[in-house]
């Protein structure tokens, strides 16, 4: 039986998302069953760039305007410098023949990595399934995550 792994992706930074997907795709290619639970800022990695426009209330609208979704909008946790740092990192990754985040996410889906989007955060942000990319397999809460994590031999919070 395949060994299981879970990752909670809580953080909304490019570098942490890259680390999560590097581990996830490597594990999946080694035959492990991998589940990623996207919650809080981590949801930004699977949000459409146009997401959040229909959220009700000015506070949610303002919050979703600041907290833009989409892989292209993820900052670096260090040296982002309003986007200069992340552009440099993408260039350096390309020069080193490393896959981009978008390529790693696509690879993760091909390898059967399961994407769960946290309904509690989604509800709080006033978002809905229409705000997310088609990679999402399931919309669920912490109980579903914990059901998977109880069977995991490796469980990480990133």
Residues that bind a copy of itself (CB under 8 A): 3, 8, 10, 12, 15-16, 19, 22-23, 26-27, 30, 32, 39-41, 57, 59-60, 62-63, 66-67, 77-79, 88-89, 91-93, 95-96, 98, 120, 123-126, 141-143, 145-146, 149-150, 152-158
Nearest distance in Å: CB 97, a copy of itself: 9
CB nearer a copy of itself, residue 54 or residue 91: 91
CB nearer a copy of itself, residue 134 or residue 147: 147
Q: How far apart are CA 91 and CA 95, in angstroms?
A: 6
Q: How far apart are CA 13 and CA 80, in angstroms?
A: 10
CB nearer a copy of itself, residue 95 or residue 130: 95
CB nearer a copy of itself, residue 19 or residue 136: 19
CB nearer a copy of itself, residue 57 or residue 130: 57
Q: How far apart are CA 31 and CA 15, in angstroms?
A: 25
Nearest distance in Å: CB 109, a copy of itself: 18
| 152 burial type by CB count under 10 A (0-12 exposed, 13-18 middle, 19+ buried) | middle
Specify the residue for token string 């490019």.
14
Backbone angle region of 40, left / alpha / beta, with phi > 0 → left and psi within -120 to 50 → alpha: left
3-state secondary structure 94-155: HHCCCCCHHHHHHHHHHCCCEEEEEHHHHHHCCCCHHHECCCCCEEECHHHHHHHHCCEEEE
């Amino acid at each position: 039986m395949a060994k299981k792994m879970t990752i909670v992706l809580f953080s909304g930074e490019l570098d942490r998302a890259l680390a999560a997907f590097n581990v996830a795709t490597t594990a999946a290619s080694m035959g492990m069953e991998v589940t990623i639970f996207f919650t809080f800022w981590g949801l930004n990695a699977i949000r459409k760039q146009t997401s959040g426009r229909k959220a009700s209330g000015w506070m949610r609208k303002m919050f979703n305007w600041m907290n833009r979704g989409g892989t292209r909008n993820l900052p670096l946790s260090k040296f982002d410098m309003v986007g200069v740092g992340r552009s440099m990192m993408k260039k350096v990754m390309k020069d080193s023949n490393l896959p981009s985040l978008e390529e790693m996410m696509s690879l993760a889906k091909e390898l059967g990595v399961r994407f769960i989007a946290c309904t509690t955060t989604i509800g709080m942000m006033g978002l809905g399934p229409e705000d997310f990319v088609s990679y999402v397999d399931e919309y669920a809460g912490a109980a579903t995550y914990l059901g998977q994590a109880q069977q995991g031999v490796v469980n990480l919070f990133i």
